[in-house]
Chains A and B, each alone.
Chain A
């Protein structure tokens, strides 16, 4: 036994030692961890240390006890052993607690990570409307780092402080949760809005949680939201239920903190939070911390406050912001009856009082001076310890006396503060039943009093207070506009609320009064649900009511700006409530509080107006006393209350090494969206049963259109597609009503649709056309094929095939575009529909593509029209062929046929074709201005949209080309031999295109740049022969694409150039064939083309060209200069050649700079500006492509080349612009790059655009002249133009393909450049032709407008 004991002893001691060591070990590292811990902070450390101390001290004390045991000779070693073991266990526990705490701190840091970056600053919002107030700033600063009780007079912006603190915690702790607690639901809703307006915490993160939301929903919100506006009860419940994620809380704001006493939810919640292993900031706000030192200390204790920020209205930093608020005491005499009754009631009480005094149960004072408290206290003491002198038998009697006295006192109070009626009602009630009736039922005095009351009431004489109040009100509304002024009348009793309301009913129109009372329903009146309260407040705010008669419910926090008069119907309430009441007014303007007393002395206090209706002596006395109380309290509060109050340590929350700096920030705050309808919130939305039955896809669909949040829920728009309303939509079972027709007519009228009337079909037509069209469509296609087969040599067949291929390619490209488009349904424009239609048709047959869109568009498409369509298809096909092998006669035959068919068209344009070129020119001129303006519009549109839009116009162009070409085709047929004529025709066609585009544009302009295909379709009539253009374009695009893609990204000049050079001849073989046939190619032109190529390559290579430039020209100005120049040039319609040259130079330079990236480039001069220029270059590329400006380059060369180049320039520009403007301009802004003057990309500036327009016009004019004069030259020119146009088209196409979302990305630019180079080549070719043929003309024409360039040339 002894041995055993000894062994146990040793073991126990050993164990204890180990345990102690372990504890120490854990404690020390924990502390050091805390110190090292980034997120730890001193306060927390302190706390923890405290805890650890307690923990580590626990074992040591145990040990002493152990020692004592050891020292003590004990026979009962067993017992001791057990104890030792227990202590060991406890020590271990202590150790583990230490560890767990350590873990918890870790956890804590995990839960609420601080954003170190954000924590470098704290943000204080500044805005024009809300100037920074020093006191708010300093209080906020304090509140950020310590638990603070802010005691600030009402209306001075406590909410702002709270909001700023919340916002900063919101920033600092990206995962932290922030809670704002306000004592009532209306307040919660008000504060959530106020906070939002101050700092703009995103509404997605904030939510109001009140008792109206079910706990389960609240639990969800606690998880997903971060800022909560709650009622304290909800907070308490959710903390207790665990749905509130206590660990994530970083900040708790408590509004109206003076309520935190006893077991109010605030206290419970805070206690719970303090028990939780979290740190959090507590910010308590109140205007009235408490009526005495003790209550304030309670609040401080309950809320773990460590700092008190108190401001008084007289404090220097607050004073400027205190609105003048006058408090006026109006004393009203009670009236004789009331005084009589009062004395009677006193008399009734007197015997009881005397009885009680006899036994020493009541202080022997006059019964008047006794307060109900006295009675109650005495009663209590009597119950607890009845004096021996009182016989047991009389205990019940005495209790009765007390009760009677209390009741009587209450009656008197009612009488004094509210008048006779409430008192009478109460007395009546009391006398009907119960002990009071039994005791006093036969008391004559009381019956007498009752009689007097009854008499007075039946007299109808209103209470003097009421009378006075009415007076005050009428006066008030005489002074203030009843619409802008708001009045709150406070009364403690609902009975008097009703009285007041009754009285107010008679006051007149200007007073719109309602009651505002609590929820509980009494005997006489029903309470107001919070919903109704909310509605009342809303109407009060908006002006539906201008007077509310409220009980104490309205005292706190309601922030109604316009309230400029508060009438306190009863004054004998706590100063706290008085202050709160008065705080309802003077919030942003002067206001006054009228306190209506029943008495006869009036005095004004503070600087503001108040009306108190007070009753005789007692009431006034009470009021004065309580005011005095308030003043003594403020003494306690001075100096942050450090002398008077005990404060609690609080965590700093932000680690000390982070010292947030103040940063003023102007908030951009989104519009506050009041959270959906409250009614909906109130009922939890159960997951509908059908949700189980539907598929995920269906759920998605539902969510998309129905369950989305209020803001982005899809709502069908009736005005989204105005152009669709200009044509009847295809109807099926239900035909269009007359109203629909009316709508359509109106829309057409509004949109200025020229062909509108013809278009409107009968419903039958609508239904029919589709099959019709299809048939016709197919047929013509076949016809074409047959025709071509019939008439073509094998070689031509080949070409046909090629055409087909190209058609297919076109399809592909279009499809590409379409698919891209379809990805963004939002940007879908009406045009798109048609575009896609085109495409769909595309997929069916190769060239037929374009005809289909007309069908739906021409809702009126009759058989005839469909026929036409067919012809169109054919013509398109023909066009294709033409473009491929323009000179082949075989094509002409079918075309011819078509043409005859097409003559049926009412399209005037077709006729025009046969007419003089003059007309065309004129038309073109006329039409151009709209075109350009259209261009502008389009440019304004965002690129993506543009791209979408572009598609359709291009297609429409095709259509046009298909439709119109008849006449030119006819020409073809008739004048086979005359190539020049043919070319002229082509040219005409092109011009027609211009015209057509112009027509198209006019409506477009109306649409603010949004182009609609229907319009385009209307203009189909105006077709032109641009068909070759698109075809070639389509053909080329794939190829170019490939090359582009290959070269674009790497952007190695050589590589880029070479594929191009290879491609170019390849692609344009056919075209060239045409060109060769037509023109007599001079050697010079060859040279020039060669030069052009060189130029291209140089441009790509850049260093070469730079050298050239160096040699002949001064180095161009810097990038900035360049931009300026550009602007100048662009703004100047008649830009001189010199300027252009400069510009070109600079642009070249830019490009060189771009190439500076290239290792091969050895351009040192450009290198200096290189860095900056990159961006500029990009821009310049977009805004104005350097490439289309050949002339400058040739100038560098030999004189010959100079001449050529200048001519080139002229011709290129003139022809290019001439035809470019028509379809391409509209189609593609990027196409603009081709032109010297035109800047194609949407980014370009307005000036440049306008300028380009001007230039174009001028050029056109110039251009038109020669056409009239010299057919031959012109034809050549046109051929050149044709080529140009093809080039343009290709460019466009490629760009189209490439530019979508990433319009500005390098790839596109590269592609653009490449295209531009190609184009340039073409231009050079063209120019050479022109030089040969039409130099004179150019001289004439261009001399007019483009004089400088010509001067250069010659």
Chain B
């Protein structure tokens, strides 16, 4: 594990954001499912909003490795193409394999 990894706070914030979005989505889903009889604000408490410190650290590292690998691979493609900038297309080229590798 490297020292120079992502800031855990940042990652936690991102996680939280995603969780909130997800749960909101789920709620909307459920709402339209079993709906109005239950009324609004039925499942507000069922959200996962915390993460264990170690898990967070690990997540940071995983993300770092992932991002680094993505960049390196995309950079290889971009370089081969003679481009000085990694463009979206470069990323797309390596994305499927990258995702499978992780």
Contacts and interface: CB of A to CB of B under 8 A. Distances in A.
A539 B101 contact: no
A544 B32 contact: yes
Contacts of B94: 724, 729
B32 A539 contact: yes
Contact of A729 (B36, B81, B88, B97): B97
A398 to B, nearest CB: 43
B48 to A, nearest CB: 19
Nearest to A815: B82
Contacts of A739: 100-101
A737 B69 contact: no
B26 interface: no
Interface in A825-868: 825, 828, 830, 832-834, 836-837, 839-840, 856
A705 B89 CA distance: 12
B88 to A, nearest CB: 6
Chain B binding site: helix, strand, loop or mixed by DSSP? helix
A736 interface: yes
B31 interface: yes
Interface string A80-94: 000000000000000
B93 A830 contact: yes
A840 B35 CA distance: 61
Contacts of B101: 731, 734-737, 739-740
Nearest to B101: A737
A1074 B99 CA distance: 56
Among the interface residues B69, B80, B99, which one has the most CB atoms of the partner chain A within 10 A?
B80
A1271 B59 CA distance: 72
Contacts of A716: 88, 91-92, 95
B39 A526 contact: yes
A315 to B, nearest CB: 40
Given A544-B32, A732-B72, A531 B40 contact: yes
Interface string A712-745: 0010111111001100111111111101100110
A822 B89 CA distance: 12
B40 to A, nearest CB: 6
Interface in B15-58: 24, 28, 31-32, 35-37, 39-40
Given A528-B36, A729-B94, A833 B73 contact: no
Among the interface residues A528, A535, A744, which one has the most CB atoms of the partner chain B within 10 A?
A535
Contacts of B5: none
A1049 to B, nearest CB: 31
Contacts of B96: 718-719, 725, 743
A1245 interface: no
Contacts of B35: 514, 532, 535-536, 539, 545
B40 A743 contact: no
Given A514-B36, A531-B40, A729 B98 contact: yes
B31 A535 contact: yes
B76 A730 contact: yes
A737 B36 contact: no
Interface residues of A, number: 53
Nearest to B74: A729
A535 B32 CA distance: 6
A169 interface: no
Contact of A840 (B82, B91, B95): B82
Interface in A506-537: 514-516, 526, 528-529, 531-532, 535-536
Contacts of B88: 705, 714, 716, 825
A839 B82 contact: yes
B68 A733 contact: yes
Contacts of B7: none
A818 interface: yes
A837 B32 contact: no
B23 to A, nearest CB: 12
A515 B35 CA distance: 9
Contacts of A545: 35
A945 to B, nearest CB: 14
Contact of A833 (B40, B77, B100): B77
Contacts of A728: 97
A730 B73 contact: yes
A744 B28 CA distance: 39
Contacts of B80: 833-834, 836-837, 840, 856
Contact of A825 (B31, B77, B89, B95): B89
A538 interface: yes
B26 to A, nearest CB: 13
Contacts of A204: none
A1201 to B, nearest CB: 50
B91 to A, nearest CB: 6
A833 B69 CA distance: 20
A679 B28 contact: yes
Given A532-B31, A718-B99, A736-B101, A729 B68 contact: no
Given A736-B97, A822-B83, A721 B36 contact: no
A456 to B, nearest CB: 26
A501 interface: yes
Nearest to B92: A720
Contacts of B83: 822, 836
Contact of A717 (B72, B92, B99, B102): B92
B77 A679 contact: no
Nearest to A515: B36
Contacts of B11: none
Contacts of A516: 36
B9 interface: no
Contacts of A721: 89, 92-93
Contacts of A724: 93-94
A319 B70 CA distance: 67
Given A705-B88, A833-B80, A729 B102 contact: no
Interface of A: 501, 514-516, 526, 528-529, 531-532, 535-536, 538-539, 544-545, 679, 705, 714, 716-721, 724-725, 728-737, 739-740, 743-744, 818, 822, 825, 828, 830, 832-834, 836-837, 839-840, 856
Given A516-B36, A538-B32, 13 more contacts: A514-B37, A539-B32, A716-B92, A721-B93, A729-B93, A729-B97, A732-B68, A732-B72, A740-B101, A828-B89, A833-B93, A837-B82, A840-B82
| A-B pairs with lowest CB-CB distance, top 8 | A836-B81, A732-B72, A836-B82, A840-B82, A740-B100, A739-B100, A724-B93, A730-B76
9 contacts: A501-B37, A514-B35, A515-B36, A531-B40, A532-B39, A535-B32, A718-B99, A720-B92, A739-B100
